[in-house]
Chains A and B, each alone.
Chain A
Amino acid sequence: MAFLEINNVAIRGISASVPPQQVENRDIYQQSWGDVEDFMGTTGIERHRNSTKDICSSDLCVSAAEVLIEKLGWEKDSIGAVVFVTQTPDYLEPATSCIIQNRLGLSIDCMTLDISLGCSGWVHAFSVLSALMQNGSIKRGLLLAGDTPSKNCSVNDKSTYPLFGDAGTATALEYDETASKVTFLLNTDGEGYKVIIIPEGGYRNQVTPDSLIEKEHGDGIVSSGVHVSMDGMSVFSFAISKAPKSIKGIVEKAGVDLEKLDYILLHQANLFMNEKIRKKLKLTPEQVPYSLKDYGNTSCASIPLTMVTECKEKLESSKLTNVGCGFGIGLSWGSVLFETDHIVVPDLIELS
């Protein structure tokens, strides 16, 4: 079982960056698909940020990282590892984290790694970086979680385009022998790999001229093979079953009471789904903050983005016990139980 307990690693700060272009779902929905109220009632997503052609996930993460490094007062050459998690890298190859090492001006003694995950990505990448750092050889590390899912959506697909938003985040980790334990519970069920998929453009189904032709799929969905397709009902069924079990599993193993947690930070999928998860666990609304109203589903960035936009003051001024739970594409899901103690949280950055 992927139940991990990691000592000696503390979160020092979290930052997030979004592109300036805001898309209002009321506008696009009424233009293309009619009555928006059902959509709003289900998803709770009023608007989201879209990247223009010249903004990539890496740009958003680099801007978040630069501000965070400066606020922390970290020397660039003190950073020994960068883990970048995304579904939208700069290139098919090389790994984007190599490019980020150079752009941030980090030492060549820094190791870098790309991880390909979406909604569960922040939790999984956090486990990888903290595991690398726990013995103290690497003193400081950056966990960069960012995605531009809007670039993969057909604008004529009502099951994806209104839901997804773009964001990039940076989480700063430091080796600290007095840090409280970080606990992870990680799961995978690849039987559901087609539930959220871009079917063409990889190496299983390489791009052909046909890949670019948009086809009618019914239910307000017109998309091509290089667009993301999502079976929302299957995602919903999976998430309301697995996310509560994962959160219950981690608090039981760690011997912590759910009601004593300050924040349970859920991946921002949609309001109806997240509220089902919250109510199943009998959590209070105060424990479960949402950023999805203004930013939509921002894939692997959703948990740290929510911390920046909804929890900044408490994160900066107090010591908190939190659970983060990511669930989705893969299918992959996981929870992390972690403390934050007066961490640095710069204001949300809007990339110009």
Chain B
Amino acid sequence: MEIKDFIANFAAQFDDTEESVFTAETKFRELDEWSSLLALSIIAMVDEEYDVQLKGEEMRATKTIQELFDLVASKVG
């Protein structure tokens, strides 16, 4: 899996935040649009695109898109 695609998949869950805002180092919890519903959308995206089931505590421990990417990559079949 590629970080570039992961960032695009991540950004696609947002309605109001420009795609150009998202980089590997983006601290996504600090974005204005971030919400509990978006957290669920990210979990669903990871399930659909990578067939990975994230636990709540794992998800909560990540701060940047890179950290989330590393977590998902470590769990890909």
Using a CB–CB cutoff of 8 Å, the interface residues on chain A facing chain B are: 38, 41-42, 195, 231-234, 236-238, 240-241, 272-273, 276, 280
Contacts and interface: CB of A to CB of B under 8 A. Distances in A.
Interface in B32-71: 35-37, 39-40, 43-44, 47-48, 53-57, 59-60
Contacts, number: 45
A240 B56 contact: no
A233 B42 CA distance: 11
A98 B55 CA distance: 39
Given A241-B47, A276-B44, A233 B56 contact: yes
Nearest to A232: B56
B55 A234 contact: yes
B59 to A, nearest CB: 6
Given A38-B36, A233-B59, 5 more contacts: A233-B39, A233-B43, A237-B59, A240-B43, A241-B53
B56 A237 contact: yes
A234 B53 CA distance: 9
A234 B56 contact: yes
Contacts of B48: 280
Given A272-B40, A276-B44, A237 B35 contact: no
- The majority secondary structure among interface residues of chain B is helix
A241 B53 CA distance: 7
Interface of B: 35-37, 39-40, 43-44, 47-48, 53-57, 59-60
Nearest to B59: A233
Contacts of B36: 38, 42, 232
A160 to B, nearest CB: 14
Nearest to A194: B57
6 shortest interchain CB distances as A-B pairs: A233-B56, A234-B56, A231-B56, A241-B53, A237-B43, A234-B55
Nearest to B46: A237
B37 A42 contact: yes
A125 B39 CA distance: 34
A27 B39 CA distance: 25
Contacts of B56: 195, 231-234, 237
